[in-house]
Amino acid sequence: MLVSQTILAAVLGITLPATRAIAQSPAPRGVLHVAAAADLQPVLPALAEEYERATGVKIVPSFGSSATLTQQLENGAPFDVFLSADRAHPEQLVAAKLTASPEPLPYAHGILVLWARKDSPAQPLSIASLTSDKVTRIAVANELHAPYGLAAMTELRALHLEDKLKPKLVVAENIAQTAEFVATGNAQAGLISLTIASSPKFRELGSYVLLPIHYAPLIQCAVVMRSAKDPELAKAFVAWLTSPAIQHRLKDFGLEPANP
């Protein structure tokens, strides 16, 4: 009986040449480095994977508060695209002539929610429950750095709760850190993005309620940076993100489409 080539190689300790795999996706066409607002942390990886399968272009995201990312971009950070949680920070980059985009392009509308763990003393969850003596720590993002933080403080002021709740507030750098404070029990409730609250981990761990929306609309905008290594690839990605096919699916991720 003949011994198969694979078995013979194993016996003799020989490494066979690797066979060429059948291509399952387009050949790599490039890499895009994307500075992305922290509320996109549960969203962008899934979209990036889909985009890479469709085009061969790899998306490498870096998450942070919109203000922090803007400062990095002003200081020359090598990002190709900026996905902000608002319009103001991309406008700042446009005004500084750092973008290839003539103006910010809206790609989504963000939604702020109140979230708490199932075992939190803030349950049953409502804005009124935040005033309970049992609730001593409420997480919000820094309003000077994060658009969702500004929205949270605007909401509390509109509801005449800022002064009453101020001693309880725990301030995080960005909305992802805000959510983590609540998820880990370092805060008993938090004002976070719907993108995070509706992610599998947070749906299992807790619950959220919508807010009356006294804050200015969170119009999340994109810009292509002037320093982008391949501006056409960057523009193509933003065009895909704002295409009807993707816009129609944003609600699955806790966002509203930019052009409902």
pLDDT at 25 over 90: no
Report, as an integer, the average pLDDT of 123-141. Answer: 97
Residue 181: other Cβ atoms inside 10 A: 22
Same domain, 103 and 118: no
Report, as an integer, the average pLDDT of 166-172. Answer: 98
Please give the structure tokens belonging to residue 147.
């658009």
Report, as an integer, the average pLDDT of 236-246. Answer: 97
100 CB-contact burial (10 Å; exposed 0-12 / middle 13-18 / buried 19+) = middle
Report, as an integer, the average pLDDT of 119-127. Answer: 98
pLDDT at 27 over 80: no
Binning pLDDT at 50, 70 and 90, where does residue 156 land? very high
* Rounded Cα distance, 166 and 28, in Å: 51
Q: Which of 52, 40, 51, 20 is nearest to 110 (CA)?
A: 40
Q: Is residue 186 part of a domain?
A: yes
Same domain, 185 and 135: yes
Same domain, 185 and 141: yes
Binning pLDDT at 50, 70 and 90, where does residue 29 land? confident
Q: Is residue 21 part of a domain?
A: no
pLDDT at 43 over 90: yes
* Chain Cα centroid distance, residue 253: 10
Same domain, 115 and 202: yes
CATH number at residue 152: 3.40.190.10
Question: What per-residue confidence (pLDDT) applies to 28?
Answer: 56
CA distances from 164 to 9, 63, 115, 158 (A): 75, 32, 19, 13
Report, as an integer, the average pLDDT of 194-199. Answer: 98
Which residue range forms the structural domain that includes residue 38? 30-109+218-257
What are the backbone dihedrals phi and psi of residue 24, each rounded to the nearest 5 degrees, phi first?
-105, -10
pLDDT at 142 over 80: yes
Question: What per-residue confidence (pLDDT) applies to 180?
Answer: 98
Same domain, 187 and 232: no
* Rounded Cα distance, 227 and 77, in Å: 9
The number of domains in the chain is 2
Question: What per-residue confidence (pLDDT) applies to 123?
Answer: 98
Q: Is residue 17 part of a domain?
A: no
SS3 assignment, position 19: coil
Q: Is the pTM of this model over 0.75?
A: yes
Q: Is residue 91 part of a domain?
A: yes
Same domain, 122 and 34: no
